[in-house]
Chains A and B, each alone.
Chain A
Amino acid sequence: MNDLERDIAQLIIDTLSLEDIEVSDITPSMPLFGEGLGLDSIDALELALALQKRYSIQIASDSRDARQHFTNVASLAAFVEAQQTACAS
């Protein structure tokens, strides 16, 4: 897990107050929804708002696209990176 992924994992734990879980319990490819962390659509919204604040990014696309980014920590990290590069250029 790289720094950004670790950072995002911590953000997920803090935002959703996942008390029994530590960063080391989350792997980059672990699904956020269903089987994995068991998040739901409202959790995803909370997370989106937290990501927006933390990394000053925009999720401007429709919800179908957003769902792709929220697959796991790795996909979120890739999305944040892409957004930040887009903003910087």
Chain B
Amino acid sequence: MAEPHTPKHHWARKKERGSFILMRFTALIARHLGRRILAPLLYMIVFYFYASDRRGRASIRQYQRSLATWSGRAELQPNHRSVFRQFMAFADCLLDRLDVWSGKLRLDQVSLDDPHDIRTRLLQSRGNGRGQILVCTHMGNLDVSRAMAELGDQVPLNVLVHTHHVGHFNRLLDEAGERRMRLIQVSELDTAQMMDLSQRIERGEWLAIAGDRVPLHGDRCVEVDFLGHTAPLPQGPWLMAGLLRCPVNLMFCLKVDGRYTIHLEPYIEGESWARGQRDATIQRWAQGYADRLAQRCLEAPAQWFNFYPYWKTPATETEHAR
């Protein structure tokens, strides 16, 4: 599996904290003991992560410093407390994820910020019309976006992921009685798979894909300026948008003042690239996404959940240049 040139600290190398086993374990506890008892336990676990994960702390510190400098808001500069708060926000998010999965957090408890009425577009895909792409981000609560499946009523939502645990998660979805949402493992530019996705779009199905994490074995990255520093982003969502020539919408789900809001915004209206402009077009789309991402980070600074070195540092530039 391992490639010699794979960056050592890639996110996929880390045990993802919201991993299946942890979810399974906490789900079990939550079912039998309830959130009130689980909460202190989970906070202890997260405290352990905070105390033991130096790289995670440094990464969050770097994120907070960049955000503060980029926005010119000095109160966002990191200190021990603010870094710890970011970890705690993640614990809180995990608890909410459990509520999503156990059906306690339902769509009617989530606000929808949809000024361009993307929900109507979603509903119109049913039966006739083409599907579209939703680009999501690892900030706030991605699981709440499961409510999107509910929003879409009968419109199938395919979530494209890099994980090998697709089978597990689909089982979890089945157990939760969720039949409209499916996880699909995507690998590097597979022709047959792209044809399958294309047919899904033509059938009116929607695709959801994360725009903020670089695939482990992929060298299809694009460099953008994010919060004032160079960061690699995946080309995947933008390649797909250009190839399938379908509209792209951005989705963010942030918790502000104790309430989740799903923000939907149209981003690309199904254009493709002109000959010879492909790389430039992908670069432009990725940069525009990074700019939106930066704005959303300001709305909920503590909900950035990428606990690994996100930016390139000059020293490792060649090491990571893949």
By a beta-carbon cutoff of 8 Å, the part of chain A in contact with chain B is 16-19, 41-42, 44-46, 48-49, 52, 58-63, 66
Contact = CB atoms under 8 A, between A and B. Distances in A.
Contacts of A46: 243
A49 B195 contact: yes
Interface residues of B, number: 14
Contact of A17 (B191, B194, B244, B274): B274
Nearest to A60: B192
Contacts of B239: 42
A1 to B, nearest CB: 23
B278 interface: yes
B200 to A, nearest CB: 12
B190 interface: yes
15 contacts: A17-B274, A41-B189, A42-B243, A45-B189, A45-B191, A48-B194, A49-B195, A49-B243, A52-B199, A58-B192, A59-B192, A59-B195, A63-B190, A63-B191, A63-B192
Query: Which of B191, B194, B275 has the most C-beta atoms of chain A within 10 angstroms of its own C-beta?
Result: B191
Nearest to B193: A63
A55 to B, nearest CB: 12
State the majority secondary structure of interface residues on B.
helix
B191 A59 contact: yes
Interface of B: 189-192, 194-195, 198-199, 239, 243-244, 274-275, 278
A42 B190 contact: no
B241 to A, nearest CB: 12
Contacts of B189: 41-42, 45, 63
B244 A49 contact: yes
Top 9 A-B pairs, shortest CB-CB distance: A17-B275, A66-B191, A48-B191, A49-B198, A52-B195, A59-B191, A60-B192, A45-B194, A63-B191
